[in-house]
Amino acid sequence: MKILIPIGSFFPAQVGGPSSTLFWLAKELKKIGYEPSVVTTMKGVSDLPCNTKIELEGVQVIYYSYRFWQLPFRLLGSLFREVPRADILILSSFFYLPSMFCVILAKLFKKPVIISPRGEFSYSALEYKSFSKVLRIKFSKLLYPNNITFHATSNQEVEDIRNVFQHVKVSKIPNFMILPPKVDSNVGDYFLFLGRIHSIKSIDNIIEALDFETFKNSKFEFRIAGFEAENGYLDRIRKLTVDRGLQAKVKFLGPVNGDEKNKLLANAKFLFLVSKSENFGNVVIESLAQGTPVVASFGTPWELLKEYDAGFWIDNQPSSIMQTVSKILHMESNDYLRMRVNAEKLVKEKFDIKSNIWIWDNLLKATIRNYNETNHTRP
């Protein structure tokens, strides 16, 4: 079965979680007999050939050059050739313009499609560029065929999708990943944020929460690693750091990748992800895989942290974050070590793609079967 995966950026790019998530998925699907191929752009990639097919750990990929990322003409042109060859498409975004183009072509060439909106239908996400998104949704309801299955990663995302498209098929599967190798850790006196620096992540709430004497007088600091994904937000939180007198306690590291990222995660006391909304959060899995517990907000689908005692699942207001930081600062070492053990247990049981690839296998086969029954069965 041939699977086409059009995506705006792809591994080794670290532009967002889907770049790696779909690489891991494609690798494991290849191992069980599928033929995945990827068409993408050079965004986040500088050291690979462009505009020609290469093999990346068994996966066929073409990285296209572009002038405008939302309208990568070479990628768009390739879809006229690639879509007819595929048996099914997997898309990692609803609002990315090439994704919408893919669905139109899939309708024309009678191909089923799985769309992973990656949190794009959450209330907080729909607030950004809302007028444009409303127009695209209305257009989609008029045009899009019944060949679409949505992939959600949490119960909340299932609800978000159904709030927009009431009668579509939705399948819930968490993001699986190839777990990174565990590095030797020497847990340091720091908390960590790692990811896109964007207001939806509520990093400002963490900084406000750290403005209390117990933290200021402790050895701990807060490290922020990642790239700016919203103009002006990085300047805002830098200014907030100064206004709160936390210049010596808050460090801005910039983007980190590879071994440096794994070491940073492994040595953190806790990872913090207190987003207003988050459809998943791959960085949580990466942290847990290194044995590092996580503080996540109710806006994320990480209630399992509480169930496994592998961290905290809290309200994302500064007062709640402050209370949690205070608990951590006063935590007994045995309790903390137990959380680290539980973190590894959680990620191995629930999110290892190698032991869960059968779930995607079932979804792909069911999607094609349902599409064929709906569109080709005649009385």
Sign of the alpha-carbon torsion through 27, 44, 123, 252 = positive
The answer to whether residue 372 scores a pLDDT higher than 60 is yes
The reported pLDDT for the residue numbered 144 is 66
The reported pLDDT for the residue numbered 379 is 42
Q: How many CB atoms lie within 10 A of CB 192?
A: 26
Report d(CA 77, CA 6) in Å as an integer: 12
Domain ranges of the chain: 2-176+353-376, 190-350
| 181-213 per-position pLDDT tens digit | 899 999 999 999 999 999 999 999 999 999 999
DSSP string, 195-259: S-B-GGG-HHHHHHHT-SHHHHTSS-EEEEES-B-STTHHHHHHHHHHHTT-TTTEEEEE---HH
The reported pLDDT for the residue numbered 304 is 96
**Could you tell me the pTM of the whole model?**
0.79
Report d(CA 375, CA 164) in Å as an integer: 24
User: Is 277 exposed, middle or buried, given 0-12, 13-18 or 19+ CB atoms closer than 10 A?
Assistant: buried
| 11-34 per-position pLDDT tens digit | 999 887 889 999 999 999 999 999
Q: CATH: 2.30.30.40, 3.40.50.2000, 3.40.30.110, 3.90.45.10. Which one for 190-350?
A: 3.40.50.2000
Report d(CA 270, CA 288) in Å as an integer: 10
Comparing 323 with 145, the larger pLDDT belongs to 323
The answer to whether residue 262 scores a pLDDT higher than 60 is yes
Q: What is the architecture of the domain spanning 2-176+353-376?
A: 3-Layer(aba) Sandwich (3.40)
DSSP-H helix ranges across the chain: 17-31, 73-85, 97-109, 123-127, 130-143, 155-164, 203-209, 213-216, 233-243, 258-267, 282-289, 304-308, 318-329, 333-350, 353-376
**Strand, helix or coil for residue 133:** helix
Do the two domains 2-176+353-376 and 190-350 of this chain adopt the same fold? yes
